[in-house]
Amino acid sequence: MRMLTRTGLFIGLVVVAAVSLTGQGSRPEPVEREHFVFYFDNPRYIDRAESILNETRERVRAFHLDTLSYKPSVYLVEDTDRFRALVGGRFPDWGAAAALPYHRMIVLKSPDQFNLNKPLEQLLAHEFAHLLVAEKAGHHSVPRWFDEGMAMLVSTEWGWSDNLAMSRAAVFGEFLPLADIDKLNRFGEGMAHVAYAESYLAVHYILDNYGKESPARFLNVIARGGSVSKALMASTGANSREFETEFRTYLTKRFNIVTLFMDTLLFWLALSVILLIAIYVRYRKRRQYFKKWEEEEKLQSTDFDYGDPDHPEQTDDEEPWRA
């Protein structure tokens, strides 16, 4: 009995070890490049990802921010459980990618297995910006609105849907206090959309009104352990309360019932154009089909002999001129 128990235990350990080794073997091998290390479940995306990230490294220089001082790891995973294991902690279901500054890594869901709703270019640039903001802030806490706004600015994500979301927020009184955006991961997808759009607008407003150097000035104060209010004072000349009032005034002037109407009208116009194009394409295909049919009919003989079916080679009595 003891022998059987030991045998069973041994077999169990062998099975567990085999499964463990199989799991480890399925993990991608690191691919090291000049500025990044890639761990991609599908390696065909590596060259494209490296090109995107190198372009992003150059783009951030426009904001007077040097690039990262380290070589981050970039993961692209096809399994939900592995994605959650790498990201750790609370992460919203609608999230497609994450940056983990303390681990110096970016984790993305694979476009082969997930509906990301955004192109790979935007996701990679967005997460790279998060790593950069964290390093330039000396890994001190950065307000979420500034972090997300910089990431969206670097990744050039603003689009028509963001404009519509802000117009709706204006009409229904759903603008968020900037400090509340720190709770973004607890938001539903709709409110999260407003939070991201508002974050982008806040940073864009600072850049437009206070210059390209303003993000660097903001992060320099944070890196020295200064408060958000002091960082805003250094970059905009206003403390947190004053900037919030100033920014809210800007939002209410830019977004209102008129912009909502125009955005909705543009949506229906765009939809109408798409439908008209679809109808035209279908019409062209049908026309080409009938034209092809007519050409084929021209090549077929229509001079049929209606003579005696029992003697088809004989001349039809009703057509004596054929004799």
The pLDDT tens digits of the residues spanning 103-119 come to 999 999 999 999 888 89
Strands 73-77 and 105-109: parallel
Lookup: tokens for 250: 């800007």
Could you please report the per-residue DSSP string of 58-118?
A: HHGGGGT----SS--EEEEES-HHHHHHHH-S---TT--EEEEGGGTEEEEE-TTTS--SS
Question: Would you say 195 and 201 are in contact if contact means Cβ atoms under 8 Å apart?
Answer: no
Stretch (H or E) spanning 1? none
First to last CA, the chain: 107
Q: Which residue has the tokens 């009184």?
A: 173
pLDDT of 17 higher than 50? no
Q: State the pLDDT at residue 314.
A: 53
Radius of gyration (C-alpha) of the chain in whole angstroms:
32
CA distance 11 to 315: 92
Structure tokens at 133: 């903001």
Give residue 308's pLDDT band: very low, low, confident or very high (50, 70, 90).
Answer: low
Lowest mean pLDDT among 5-9, 166-170, 202-206: 5-9
DSSP element (H, E) containing 31: strand 31-32
If you search the block for the tokens 């999260």, which residue do you land on? Answer: 192
Task: Report the run of H or E that residue 37 belongs to, with start and end.
Answer: strand 37-40
Tokens 């959650």 found at: 84
pLDDT at 91: 80
CA 221 to chain centre: 31
Q: Is the pLDDT of residue 319 over 80?
A: no
Tens-place pLDDT, residues 261-288: 665 544 544 556 566 676 767 766 766 6
| Residue carrying structure tokens 């490294």 | 57
Residues whose CB is less than 8 angstroms from the CB of residue 278 and which lie 6 or more positions away in sequence, other chains included: none
Give the residue, 117 or 85, on which the prediction is more confident: 85
Among candidates 207, 202, 197, which has minimal Cα distance to 244? 202
Phi-psi region of 119 (alpha: psi -120 to 50; beta: other; left: phi over 0): beta
Q: Please give the angle made by the CA atoms of 212, 215 and 219, to the nearest 5 degrees.
A: 150
| Spatial separation of the C-alpha atoms in residues 92 and 193, rounded to whole Å | 13
Task: Tell me what the pLDDT averaged over the chain comes to.
Answer: 82
Report the Cα 21 to chain-centroid distance in Å: 34
Q: Please give the pLDDT value at position 12.
A: 44
pLDDT attached to residue 92:
77
